[in-house]
A and B are shown apart, each in its own frame.
Chain A
Amino acid sequence: MFKNTRLQALLAAVCVMFGAQSQAAALMGFEDSAMMMTEIGRYNQEWMLNYSPKIGHAFGVEVMRMSAKREQATTIVGLNYNGLIKRWNMPHAQANVWFQGSIGEASGLYDGFAYTPSLQFDAETTRLYFLAKARLIRANDMNYDTAVVQAGFSFYETSFDETQPWFVLEAKTMRNTEPSLQITPAIRLINKNYFFELGVTNPFQGDSFAPRVNAMFVF
């Protein structure tokens, strides 16, 4: 019990130090809900539709498309699973560890069976947000392994029925792509029905500059 309390205090401190959001911590709605997600950027695109029969589990389909500069794109179409490994509910914060992954078929520059297991940790309060995620994106001869860190803050607290604006900064690395490091500052809008984010990847790097849109809806 004592250890648990100390762990919760530590997690709360992490939330305060690094920030945490809340929204869309992972691609899962509530029991008996469906969720749709899309991320559209210059180098990566992703679409997902899943159904959660029970809190902690969601099944669906996912399409990912990766492309580097001057390179043919690779598309992975697969079946996806999201699982909540552990959740800490604290009075003013929440932290989670998730597993997410797809198995499917790659086509394009690389072909064949593809798999994309990932682990994610996120922690959030109503004002602060932090996320770290590592994902393997593999197929025969293909390696687009990805690591992502996000931190953000909301400009102010809102009520349940209002839209809350956030500023989020993301650093993302993807192997065997160019640019390998993508820095994306973004404005995120969170509502009880949707999540919408508009960012700019590598805003200060000339030809790497690219807008990015991210959206989620829960039904």
Chain B
Amino acid sequence: MKKLFVLFVFAFTSQIAIAETSIKAEVNGMVCAFCAKGIEKKLNAMPEGKGAFVDLKNRVVVMELKDGQEVTLEKFTQVIKDAGYTVSKIEKVPQSAEAIKLELLKTNGAK
């Protein structure tokens, strides 16, 4: 019984640890800030998000979700498409937008 309880707690906490907190998309055609501003504006207007950022060098767009909020990958893809761009890869990741930003900054620095 004790083992079962420990297993349950482990499974529960693990689930929290891998909770998806951000949507990260690689975007084709995103080559200039003036043109890509629409993506940032549209994503920042989404009530489910805490805020979005655009990384031109890695052509990545990220939006962190508010706790308990959900946005489907299809909806996110449509927002990018409506801004005039194409999503080549999209995923939910268990990281904050800030953590992803730092990661990308390191990647940029290494380039």
Smallest beta-carbon distance B98→chain A, Å: 15
Asked if A69 is at the interface of the complex by the 8 Å CB criterion, the answer is: no
Report whether over half of chain B's contact residues are helix, strand or loop; otherwise say mixed.
Answer: mixed
Are A157 and B56 neighbours in the complex by a CB distance under 8 Å?
yes
Contact of B38 among A33, A89, A164, A193 (CB under 8 A): A33
Measured between beta carbons, the chain A residues less than 8 angstroms from B36 are: 160, 192
How many residues of chain A have a CB within 8 Å of chain B?
39
Are A160 and B56 neighbours in the complex by a CB distance under 8 Å?
yes
Are A93 and B33 neighbours in the complex by a CB distance under 8 Å?
no
Name which residue of chain B comes closest to A91, CB basis. Answer: B28
Measured between beta carbons, the chain A residues less than 8 angstroms from B38 are: 29-31, 33, 55
Are A192 and B84 neighbours in the complex by a CB distance under 8 Å?
no
Name which residue of chain A comes closest to B28, CB basis. Answer: A89
Asked if B42 is at the interface of the complex by the 8 Å CB criterion, the answer is: yes
Asked if B59 is at the interface of the complex by the 8 Å CB criterion, the answer is: yes
Are B56 and A158 neighbours in the complex by a CB distance under 8 Å?
yes
Q: Say yes or no: A87-B83 contact (C-beta < 8 A), given A30-B42, A31-B38.
A: no
User: Which residues of chain A have a CB within 8 Å of any CB of chain B?
Assistant: 20-25, 29-31, 33, 55-56, 84, 87-94, 124-126, 157-162, 164, 190-195, 216, 218
